[in-house]
Amino acid sequence: MTSSSDIRQTFFQECEELLEMLDDGLTEITDTPGDAVDPETVNSVFRAVHSIKGGAAAFGLDALVKFAHQFETALDEMRSGRLSATDAVMKILLRSADHLSALVVVARDNTEINTSVGADLLEKLAQISGSSVAAQSSAVAGGPAEEPDFGFQPLALAFDFGPAAESTFTIVFSATKRLFANGNDPVHLFRALAELGSLSVKVDTDALPRLDDLDCADSYFTWLLILRTSDSEEAIREVFEFVDGACSLEITREEGAEDITTKPSEPQIVDVGRAPEVVDTAATPQPDSAGARQDSPPSPPPSRSRGGAGSDKPTKAAAGFQGTVRVDLELVDRLINIVGELVINQAVLSQCVQDAGLSKSPDVISGLDEFKNLAREIQENVMAIRAQSVKPLFQRMARILREASDISGKVVRFETEGEATEVDKTVIERLVDPLTHIIRNSVDHGLELAEVRRAAGKPETGRVKLSAAHRSGRVLIEVSDDGGGINRPKVRQIAIDKGLIPPESALSDNEIDKLLFLPGFSTAREVTDLSGRGVGMDVVRSSIHNLGGRVNIASVPGQGTTLSISLPLTLAVLDGMVVDVAGQTMVIPITAIIETLRPSAKDIHQVASNGQVVAVRDTFVPIVDLAEVFGHRKRSDDYTSMVLLLVESGQNERWALAVDRIHDQRQVVIKGLEGNYGHVPGVAAATILGDGKIALIIDPEEAALRVRAESVSPSMMRLEEL
Amino acid sequence: MSIVILAIDDSRTIREMLREALLNAGFEVHVAVDGVDGLEQLSKVSPQVVITDINMPRLDGFGVIEAIRSGPVFSAVPILVLTTESAPDLKERARNSGATGWIVKPFDDVKLVSAIRRVSSH
């Protein structure tokens, strides 16, 4: 069996696609009422499981094969109309799809499965498959007994080449019309027999009719074959395996009879090994021998095709493949890095041109502009290689949700929106854990139990919606539920009990909601199966932060909670505003900046504590001096000579970051600091500028919080320090 | 001249396995992704042996066999069915539909090649 690791990898990639197809199909069947289900949908679902089984068998993944087989049996029942897609059935099928997917992961990663749902599901699948598999189901439930009707073991080949005693077999063989119609040919069989030992063939042409009565598609010969071999009768029977039923066959073992040439009347003995062409004509009573040459040109297809085979073949070999290539992710990453260097290099060149005083030469400038555009285009396209739709992520979340609703006993409908939204693969991968936690939370804490919902006049089935959308260069992912919303008095009380906030602190609704993100905060009275796995919303928040994202939570009591995550599309580059802060060059992500201001003195006001605010139209926005935040100098007294960058946090809070001047606006390549320095508050990453210098990329929200913590009410300190 | 084989299977994994096994055995291999694709390639490739899966989108294996057997040019080409089941009734069904023989999945390279040799003149 072929088992090269490349093909194995192909198999698991294909499994992902098949599982996606399976999920899609099952979801569609679930959502389609009654008989309106497209049979092709059921077919494709069946095929998906069938293909996984086929591939899994090739790699000897027994657990996967076994489960897929039972799953497939149930789907086959549905395909043939004996099993209808009731809610109960679909639930089992969906859970089976989840389990199948888990088994694939286990097989791929060579790990152990850590749930016991498999046996239970096998039994349920057997049940819904009906009585025909009742026997199997008991075998399955009973242990690792093999199902009777699918023996994947290759047939034992009689390859015993020891000095076994030879014996002589007499084989009487005659073909039916069907044997030829199915593309079989006695001559191939005889040749295979000849490989087993020494063979003599005699043909009995007695049954051959007059030429007029001859049907040239039929066979009128009976062959008498005498084979002397050390192989068993099974080996001989195996040669005839394919024609069994399309011929008459008698095999007898002759004890003493050695003389094979003395028997029947017409001694037309043909040595198969030496003169195959004679046998060819004898075996296939086709045009020439039948005398029917006048109306059909004798061009046997095989020889003709062999003649024309060579020339156009290589190009055809590629046909049938989709126009994609599979590339090692590492190669793409390397390419992204190189493109990053190219972008930096382009910045270096621009700098050099300027320094050399060439910036007035139109040729140089237009050439440089073109270079800049090309570099940017290459970069965007390279990024696009890594972009993937969030659909597999969403399907995975659907699984998590089903698992969560099963454990919690709540009935939940899962809705998705924007599945086709594309995001960098690395971003998607790192979203799995936070989203898993959020989804579990929505089911466990967000949604109420059915009776509570009924009492509140809501449908008993809860709803959790997951959506993704591109929003001005970022991706916005939202998880919303129609549950009871955040119980603010309770949240507040818990925060006070845990000593997270002083009892007297006055918090806005939004601030109370944000308490959920505090480390160590948990509203669950007791640790349930679902949540309480040692992961809190604080971990969710920090992992989103690490992706350069923001989490926001909004809740309407009695109506539900929405968690929104805003993320960059990629982790490799960002559009930045390059600024000067006390002689240091820093970069601020453009996406964070709402507008830039050059304030006049009358717009700036001193507030009671030691802060200053700037009036922006009808609101006041606190000023945060970046030079002070990073300890370069004391807070400036005169902001009129500086530039204020108005930034907004995920929670719609605004600050005005004060910088000395704006340098430039450009795309920068992000170089992570965390690997070397850990997380530095207020600093998201670093980049290399055109002159080779390193500039810090600022996280505006964190930077603001670094100083704001001192200037706002102490009650909020912990919250602000996040 | 090596034997030209057209292998039809909707699973990429199986296609790659077939291709590798058949190439190693010195055959010339063409692959098709489903029944319709297989029939389209038939006249271009002029195979001496066709290997086909049963469960496929657009046109299944039985449809492929039927179309080949009823067509004018390739009606006599040996067709091997790739099947995951080895039960006798499935073999019977394959035979009734006009298949020359079958290969049980997962296939063993040696058996695959011997099955091909058994139905072709090489």
Q: d(Cα A343, Cα A688) in Å, to the nearest integer?
A: 10
For A185, name the nearest residue in chain B, comparing CA atoms only: B119
Give yes or no for residue A267 having a pLDDT over 50. no
A278 compared with A468, residue with greater pLDDT: A468
CA distance B25 to chain A (A): 12
Q: d(Cα A315, Cα A364) in Å, to the nearest integer?
A: 45
Lowest mean pLDDT among A25-34, A73-82, A309-318, A571-580: A309-318
Which residues from chain B sit within 8 angstroms of residue A155, using beta carbons? 111
A47, A57, A181 member nearest B55 (Cβ):
A47
Query: ipTM value of the model?
Result: 0.87
- Longest Cα–Cα distance of chain A, Å, equals 126
For A180, name the nearest residue in chain B, comparing CA atoms only: B76
Which residues from chain B sit within 8 angstroms of residue A50, using beta carbons? 55, 84
Answer whether B11 sits within 8 Å of A313, measured CB to CB: no
pLDDT for the residue A7: 84
Percent of residues, chain A, with pLDDT higher than 90:
7
Q: Spell out a b/e string for A10-22, using b for 16 or more CB atoms within 10 Å of the CB, else e.
A: bbbebbeebbebb
Specify the residue for token string 């929505």.
A442
CA distance A177 to chain B (A): 12
pLDDT for the residue A472: 67
For B81, name the nearest residue in chain A, comparing CA atoms only: A242
Count contacts between A and B (CB, < 8 Å): 167
Six-digit token string for A295: 């109306």
User: Which of B 44-73 lie inside 8 A of A, CB atoms?
Assistant: 44-48, 55-57, 69, 73
A141 compared with A592, residue with greater pLDDT: A592
Give A653's pLDDT tier (boundaries 50, 70, 90): confident
Give yes or no for residue A527 having a pLDDT over 80. no
Which residues from chain B sit within 8 angstroms of residue A305, using beta carbons? 4, 46-48
Quote the crossing angle between the two packed helices A39-58 and A5-31, to the nearest 10°: 160
How many other C-beta atoms lie within 10 A of the C-beta of residue A246? Answer: 20
CA distance B15 to chain A (A): 10
Lowest mean pLDDT among A121-130, A579-588, A592-601, A692-701: A121-130
Which residues from chain A sit within 8 angstroms of residue B15, using beta carbons? 320
Q: By the CB < 8 Å criterion, does B29 face chain A?
A: yes
Answer whether B121 sits within 8 Å of A319, measured CB to CB: no
Give yes or no for residue A319 having a pLDDT over 60. no
Written as one letter, the residue type at B69 is R
pLDDT for the residue B32: 92
Average pLDDT score over chain A: 76
Count CA atoms within 13 Å of residue A179 on its CB side. Answer: 27
B4, B14, B91 member nearest A309 (Cβ):
B4
Q: Which domains does chain B have, with CATH numbers?
A: 4-117 (3.40.50.2300)
Q: By the CB < 8 Å criterion, does B101 face chain A?
A: yes
A82 compared with A269, residue with greater pLDDT: A82
CB B118 within 8 A of CB A189: yes
Percent of residues, chain B, with pLDDT higher than 90:
11
CA distance A15 to chain B (A): 9
pLDDT for the residue A109: 85
pLDDT for the residue A354: 83
Q: d(Cα A337, Cα A343) in Å, to the nearest integer?
A: 10
Give yes or no for residue B107 having a pLDDT over 70. yes
Which residues from chain B sit within 8 angstroms of residue A42, using beta carbons? none
pLDDT for the residue A645: 92
Q: By the CB < 8 Å criterion, does B106 face chain A?
A: yes
Six-digit token string for A270: 């043909």
Six-digit token string for B66: 């039927």
- In Å, how far from its chain's centre is CA A280? 53
CA distance A117 to chain B (A): 26
CA distance B34 to chain A (A): 9
Answer whether B13 sits within 8 Å of A187, measured CB to CB: no
Give yes or no for residue A630 having a pLDDT over 50. yes
- In this prediction the pTM is 0.59
Mutation site for A-interface testing, chosen from B8, B10, B13, B117 by largest number of A Cβ within 10 Å = B13
Give yes or no for residue A91 having a pLDDT over 70. yes
Give yes or no for residue B8 having a pLDDT over 90. yes
For A69, name the nearest residue in chain B, comparing CA atoms only: B84
Give yes or no for residue A292 having a pLDDT over 80. no
CA distance A272 to chain B (A): 12
Highest mean pLDDT among A220-224, A458-462, A502-506, A649-653: A458-462
Instruction: Please name the residues in contact with A7: beta carbons below 8 A apart, sequence gap of 6 or more.
Output: B13, B16, B17, B20
Q: Spell out a b/e string for A148-169, using b for 16 or more CB atoms within 10 Å of the CB, else e.
A: eebebeeeeebeeeeeeeebbb
CA distance A157 to chain B (A): 9
B37, B98, B106 member nearest A58 (Cβ):
B106
Answer whether B78 sits within 8 Å of A7, measured CB to CB: no
